[in-house]
Structure 1
Amino acid sequence: MMVEYRVSPAVDDRALSALHHRAFSSGLTTVVSWTARLRQHSLCWVTAEDETGLIGFVNVIGDGGEHAFVLDTAVLPARQGEGVGRRLIEVAVEAARSLGCKWLHVDFEPDLETFYLDACGFRPTQAGLLRLRS
């Protein structure tokens, strides 16, 4: 199936919420106002679509300077392992670079280490995380 990758297109809040819930196995059905969230906080975002609709997404948040952060990388479970996520990150890297960013950060769970470090080329760094809510 042909996949089209686009930088910062209009998004359908219902479709993106459904993708996010399925990719993260949240079991929730809440529709998030992604359109408002992306406009307010994002440097850019990348979508992946095929003839069935939205199959992948990644969000890039900027600090207003040289740093950007990858959030919400999501690919439909049925399409994982096909390179969709890797290509989403590649497009996001180029978009962030073209917008003047020098550094792209990502935090991830241990089971995603191979994806981010091996497939996408990130290198390990020390970082900290503080949970604000349980």
Structure 2
Amino acid sequence: MTVAAQLSLEVPGSGEYRALRVAAGLSAMSEEGAALGLPASWCSVCVRDQGELIGMGRVVGDGGLFLWVVDIAVTPARQGQGWGRRIMQVLMDEIRARAPARTMVGLIADGSAHQLYEKFGFRLVAPGAQGMLMRV
């Protein structure tokens, strides 16, 4: 009997987090950054198949004024199966249940991912505003 992959509210381990980001085509993160940042997650979701991390997503921020949806990633072999949507649904349920009214929730959508995020109420901000990033 095959056990279906399970989604749970949990913070991934540093090594598996870093490996999944790279496997899913996201940028690599440092071991030091992951060790500091992961425990500070406001909310974190993992999808595991027989213990192996196959998907994840996190919300980071101050918890009251600003939140950012980050690290939405699914291993390539499991993409296209609805896991990204399920991860987002759990994160959005947590945001709606726990964040104060008028909290600003943002994200940066790679490629065509904005089509998924629009289903959860996110809107493109250009040309009225432009997103900016800097890596140190």
TM-score range, shorter chain: 0.7 to 0.9
Greater CA drift, 91-100 or 124-133:
124-133
Kindly state the Cα deviation for residue 113 of structure 1 after the two structures are TM-superposed: 2.3
Q: The residue matched to 2:81 in structure 1 has which SS?
A: coil
For the pair 1:122 / 2:122, whether they are aligned, the reply is yes
Aligned twin of 1:132? 134
Q: Deviations over 1:63-114 (max 9, x none)?
A: 3314311011110011111000100000001112222244432221342222
Do 2:11 and 2:44's aligned partners in 1 also have CA atoms closer than 8 Å?
no
Aligned twin of 1:37? 37
Distance 1:21 1:52 in 2: 19
For the pair 1:23 / 2:24, whether they are aligned, the reply is yes
Query: Per the alignment, do residues 59 and 65 of structure 1 end up closer, same or farther by CA in structure 2, a change over 3 Å counting?
Result: same
Equivalent residue letter for 1:3: A
Q: The residue matched to 2:84 in structure 1 has which SS?
A: helix
TM-score where L is the length of structure 2 = 0.77
Query: Per the alignment, do residues 123 and 131 of structure 1 end up closer, same or farther by CA in structure 2, a change over 3 Å counting?
Result: closer
Distance 1:125 1:29 in 2: 27
Q: The residue matched to 1:56 in structure 2 has which SS?
A: strand
Q: How does 1:5-24 map to 2 (within 5 A)?
A: 5-7=7-9, 9-24=10-25
Q: How does 1:35-74 map to 2 (within 5 A)?
A: 35-40=35-40, 42-51=41-50, 53-74=52-73
> Aligned pair count?
130
Percent identical pairs in the alignment equals 29
Stretches of structure 2 that go unaligned for 5 or more consecutive residues are none
Do 1:14 and 1:32's aligned partners in 2 also have CA atoms closer than 8 Å?
no
Equivalent residue letter for 2:91: A
Aligned twin of 1:104? 105
Aligned twin of 2:4? 2
- What is the RMSD computed on CA atoms of the aligned residues? 2.6
Stretches of structure 1 that go unaligned for 5 or more consecutive residues are none
Greater CA drift, 92-101 or 71-80:
92-101
